Structure 1
Amino acid sequence: MEASKYKNTTSYVTYHGEVVGETPIEQRYVPARHKLNITTSVELMAGKLLMNPHLLSDFAGGSLNLTSTAVLPGKVIVLNIFKFHATVYNSCNISVFISPQIVESMCKTKLKL
């Protein structure tokens, strides 16, 4: 397996295509054979949400659908010899259900060398 490291980046949360939140992701080194789950919290921009024409109908429908995206540029180190530029693309579809106050998310991650 290979080790990897990625640079500082930013994760964005969008609602119907408009950015309504962002949060920094600090650079990290991920040792070989390790898995990394990045958990962040974000403060949504209430003003942008309230101005969105879809908010009332989505709220009345019982859920808000958001998307979180992050692009993590970095390097992959194979056998502690070879270094390749790599980029990880992460996208999460987040559903916030109003009445039962439940949040569900489904994420996809892709690595490009």
Structure 2
Amino acid sequence: MDSKEHRRHRWCSRRCVIISVAVILGIALLLLILGLTVFRPRHTVTTINSVHLGALRVGLDVPHLSVDLNVTLDLDITATNPNRASFRYDTGNAELFYHGGLVGEAVIPPGRVGAEGSVRTNVSLTVMADRLISDATLYKDVISGSVPFSTNTRLPGTVTILGVFKHHMVAYTMCNITVSVQNRSVENSDCRYKTKF
């Protein structure tokens, strides 16, 4: 009788161990499937909604073929987070280029985008006149009535999945912008977006 009781007890213990292992494996498999599907990190995207000319002052010195140009571009930027976890971003930056040369910079302050949410921010890029005036093509562009610029924005951050798995990513936006000297406005803007993990 004792041996029957002992065998029954061993069989129950084994059964409990098998069930426990099966439950743990099932939970691990479920977390793995969720991590690869529902909670898989997706690209956070920064988009430039609009570009406005905040200020424009042009002065021509015809005898010396030089230009005094002060430009401020106001960028309306949205960071969109498609993840089911929040995206915390560090200090980012926006840069303004004229024919490939850096002529303006601005800081994008750090922040947070909630799960499947978006955040808008405004950034003002002021042209560094001393860098711009040294470019010989500026005079021709101002005379033609259109001055081409390009902007790059960079927003680094982290998405934390299930409070454990951290995914670092950087969202980039590159735009080509044409400023109309006569209308004192942005004539054209063409933007591209990408994210790197």
TM-score by length of 1: 0.87
* Post-superposition offset of 1:79: 5.0
* Post-superposition offset of 1:37: 3.4
How far, CA to CA, are the matches of 2:90 and 2:115 in structure 1?
17
Question: Residue 58 of structure 1 aligns to a residue in which SS?
Answer: helix
Superposed counterparts of 1:3-18, under 5 Å:
3-18=86-101
Is structure 2 residue 129 aligned with structure 1 residue 46? Answer: yes
* Post-superposition offset of 1:50: 1.3
Is structure 2 residue 166 aligned with structure 1 residue 101? Answer: no
Match of 1:64?
147
Q: Can you give the 5+ residue segments of structure 1 that lack an aligned partner in the other structure?
A: none
Is structure 2 residue 189 aligned with structure 1 residue 111? Answer: no
How far, CA to CA, are the matches of 2:191 and 2:161 in structure 1?
26
More helix by share: 2
How far, CA to CA, are the matches of 2:102 and 2:151 in structure 1?
9
More strand by share: 1
* Post-superposition offset of 1:80: 4.8
* Aligned-residue CA RMSD (Å): 1.7
TM-score by length of 2: 0.53
For 1:63-83, what per-residue CA distance to the aligned partner results, in whole angstroms no more than 9, with x for missing partners?
111111122211123455532
* Largest Rg, 1 or 2: 2
How far, CA to CA, are the matches of 1:73 and 1:52 in structure 2?
32
Q: Can you give the 5+ residue segments of structure 2 that lack an aligned partner in the other structure?
A: 1-81
Identical counterparts, % of pairs: 32
- Name the amino acid aligned to 1:88: A
How far, CA to CA, are the matches of 1:38 and 1:61 in structure 2?
33
